[in-house]
């Protein structure tokens, strides 16, 4: 008697699983096809963007950062769209949107200083008057620019001291480019 009831429960359970799979199989297959197409489009767009950024002669660090941001945004929207195609996962796709919204807001608030450094770094890296090898006076430091990255600039003074200055301090301030000419003139940036 107990064995018959157990057998009946197991059969109902397996039948429900098989029926659910049969009902959702077309949606899952559609989602997998969409994923494959999304991957192909992603590869094409990323390659195109990479070539365009390389031609713009942007620094490698900035290109890498732009490609990473592109990848993150592309796959987020792709995943949300794919999950939204499968019955029962629409709520998960919607919840992902809400979670990402709150996460983005929290990260934005927590990293406001970092974002200032990054934006300033982009501005400095693209400025022709502020390049590695140029002698400058900025933020109370006079020396030769040794390295500019997305967040900081390294300047070496005449004594060999290296000063690491956040880009968000340099970019909005006045800096003087020291030229080694007969008249020893300076070019001020503001």
pTM of the model: 0.51
**How many angstroms separate the CA atoms of 37 and 12, rounded?**
37
- DSSP annotation of 179: P
Asked if 159 contacts 143 with a C-beta cutoff of 8 angstroms, the reply is: no
- DSSP annotation of 181: S
**Can you spell out the DSSP letters for 9-37?**
HHHHHHHHHHHHHHHHHHHHHHHHHHHHH
The per-residue pLDDT for range 93-138, each reduced to its tens digit, is 788 777 877 777 777 777 677 778 778 888 888 788 888 899 999 9
Token output for 177 = 């480019």
The per-residue pLDDT for range 27-50, each reduced to its tens digit, is 888 889 999 999 999 999 999 999
What the chain holds in terms of domains, given with CATH numbers, is 2-110 (no CATH), 129-189 (2.30.30.60)
């Amino acid at each position: 008697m107990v064995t018959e009831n157990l057998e009946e429960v197991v059969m109902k359970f397996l039948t429900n699983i098989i029926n659910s799979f049969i009902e959702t199989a077309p949606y899952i297959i559609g989602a997998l096809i969409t994923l494959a197409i999304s991957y192909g489009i992603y590869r094409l767009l990323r390659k195109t963007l990479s070539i365009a950024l390389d031609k713009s002669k942007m620094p490698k660090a900035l290109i890498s950062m732009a490609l990473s941001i592109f990848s993150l945004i592309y796959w987020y929207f792709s995943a949300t769209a794919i999950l939204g195609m499968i019955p029962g996962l629409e709520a998960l796709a919607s919840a992902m949107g809400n979670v990402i919204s709150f996460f983005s807001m929290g990260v934005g608030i927590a990293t406001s200083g970092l974002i200032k450094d990054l934006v300033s770094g982009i501005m400095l890296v693209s400025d022709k008057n502020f390049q590695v090898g140029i002698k400058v006076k900025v933020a109370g430091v006079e020396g030769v620019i040794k390295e500019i990255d997305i967040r900081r600039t390294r300047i070496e003074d005449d004594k060999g001291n290296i000063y690491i200055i956040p880009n968000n301090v340099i970019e909005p301030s006045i800096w003087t480019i020291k030229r080694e000419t007969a008249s020893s003139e300076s070019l001020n940036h503001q």
